[in-house]
Amino acid sequence: MGAYDAIERKLIDNQPIADFYSDTFSACFNYAWELQVVKIGADGNPLITLEVSMDEVNWDTYHIESTNYEMIDNSVTFFDDLFAFKHFRIGVQANGATTGNITATMFLKDR
């Protein structure tokens, strides 16, 4: 369980590694958040990109550090103390990985 355990939601639930976007996560403002991404049994290093939107039509990358982040380790955690947007999704690119699954869990906590 993450440090931010007030609200927990799986955005990616043990899906095969491929090129795809997660479900959209929508929330109001004023949350601290943590995102845990885990790969299991992968034969490569998928790329992760965090994207945000105010309208679910126009998407922007969250930060340069979370754009095409190469998952060299089996897990990575992203976090911030402000959920300053309305919608959030995760882009996954296989990046040569042909096996394995990926899970991503979002944790929110009132500020």
**Nearest alpha carbon to residue 105 among 22, 29, 28, 37:** 37
Residue partners of 33: CB distance under 8 A and separation at least 6: 4, 79, 80, 83, 106, 107, 108, 109
d(CA 76, CA 52): 19
Residue 103 sits at φ, ψ, to 5 deg, of: -130, 140
Give the chain's domains with CATH numbers.
7-110 (2.60.120.260)
Q: What is the pLDDT of residue 18?
A: 97
pTM of the model: 0.87
Q: What is the pLDDT of residue 108?
A: 84
pLDDT mean by block of 10 residues, the chain; 111 residues: 65 96 83 91 96 93 85 93 85 96 89 60
Contact 11, 108 (CB under 8 A): no
